[in-house]
Amino acid sequence: MDFTPKQLQYLFYLDFYQNSGRLVSDLAEQLGVSKAAVSQLLDFYETKGLIKRDPSGGTSLIGEAKAAAATVKEKYELIRPFFRRMPELTVEMARQCALRYVCWMPRESVDGLARALIEKDKLNGVRWDLYDQAAGRRFPFADGKCQVPFDVFKKDSDEISMGDKGFVKPAQMTVLNGRGAITLVSREIRYRSKAGASLRGRLTRLSCLYGGGFVQVKPKKNKYLIPLHYIRKISRVPDGTLCGTLRIRAEVGRCAGHMPPSEADILFRFTK
């Protein structure tokens, strides 16, 4: 069965929200239609053998619909980071752009971009070790100091982490004789829990993924000096901005509540 671009979007969201417990409301909100319209859509899909409803009220995709949604989801996950790295796009805008691209652009274009990103990811998967001259990579930064914008995302996600509030922005990069480091300055986090409690905390231990494990970075007061070779991936986005990703493990203390160690990804956006 050939699905229209709009139908592919509907199937994607059906798959995404099928276990939410409020499928009709979530779909109505996401698609910008009434709940009645969503109910009619589900009835139609059921008659066409595209979804299955169980006695408990659950809904799941079946047959061709399940296969089509899986294909859209696979390509969406590949292409979403491409849009996320565009600094002018918010996280939500990047999500919408990725989904619309997958559903509405010609299949040849989508498949071509997906293949290119897979190949690029293979290259980015190689650790970018600036101390390893044998790697044959040209050092991309000139000597000096500069500010580096960054955001802290949840591990392997495009959602901003609560830890994003725990650092002063921007960071500062210092380069000398082909080696460099980024200085991160921590600050206290203040926020409210879902229960309404006022919580606060400060970074007490920071480790960076390097080699085969996490290496602790010891601070001077509240400043953490991160060697550039700890950066896991580096790539250049379409506007020419050089981006680098750093995987961290953070521990926060002095909180009015328990906060276990958590991992996150820092995305640095270097100058063009």
Confidence (pLDDT) at 132: 44
Q: Is residue 127 part of a domain?
A: no
Helices assigned H by DSSP within 91-234 = 91-104, 107-124
Q: Is residue 126 part of a domain?
A: no
Confidence (pLDDT) at 145: 92
The fraction of the chain above a pLDDT of 70, given in percent, is: 86
Residue 200 or residue 70, greater confidence: 70
47 close to 53: Cβ distance less than 8 angstroms? no
Confidence (pLDDT) at 150: 95
Confidence (pLDDT) at 129: 41
**CA atoms within a 13 Å half-sphere pointing along the CA-CB vector of 257:** 13
Confidence (pLDDT) at 85: 76
Show the tokens assigned to 49.
Answer: 């053998």
Same domain, 137 and 264: yes
3 close to 103: Cβ distance less than 8 angstroms? no
Same domain, 74 and 171: no
Q: Is residue 238 part of a domain?
A: yes
Confidence (pLDDT) at 21: 75
215-228 residue pLDDT tens: 999 999 899 999 88
- Give the count of beta carbons closer than 10 Å to the beta carbon of residue 124: 17
Residue 14 has pLDDT above 60, yes or no: yes
CATH code where residue 218 lies: 2.60.40.1850
- Give the count of beta carbons closer than 10 Å to the beta carbon of residue 193: 10
Q: Count of domains in the chain?
A: 2
51-63 residue pLDDT tens: 998 877 678 899 9
Confidence (pLDDT) at 258: 53
β-bridge partners, 144? 175
Confidence (pLDDT) at 66: 92
Instruction: Using a cut of 0.75, tell me whether the model's pTM lies above it.
Output: no
Confidence (pLDDT) at 173: 93
Q: Is residue 69 part of a domain?
A: yes
Residue 89 or residue 258, greater confidence: 89
Q: Nearest to residue 31, comparing CAs of 96, 91, 90?
A: 96
Q: Is residue 51 part of a domain?
A: yes
110-159 residue pLDDT tens: 888 888 877 665 544 433 444 444 445 566 778 889 999 999 999 888 88
Residue 100 or residue 199, greater confidence: 100
Across the range 74-95, mean pLDDT stands at 85
Same domain, 261 and 194: yes
254 phi-psi bin (left φ>0, alpha ψ -120 to 50, beta other):
left
Same domain, 146 and 116: no
Confidence (pLDDT) at 125: 41
C-alpha span between 56 and 52 (Å, rounded): 12
Confidence (pLDDT) at 231: 84
Confidence (pLDDT) at 257: 53
Query: Which residue among 64, 94, 121 closes a domain?
Result: 121
Show the tokens assigned to 98.
Answer: 């990725």
Residue 25, domain extent? 5-121
Residue 181 has pLDDT above 70, yes or no: yes
- Give the count of beta carbons closer than 10 Å to the beta carbon of residue 187: 13
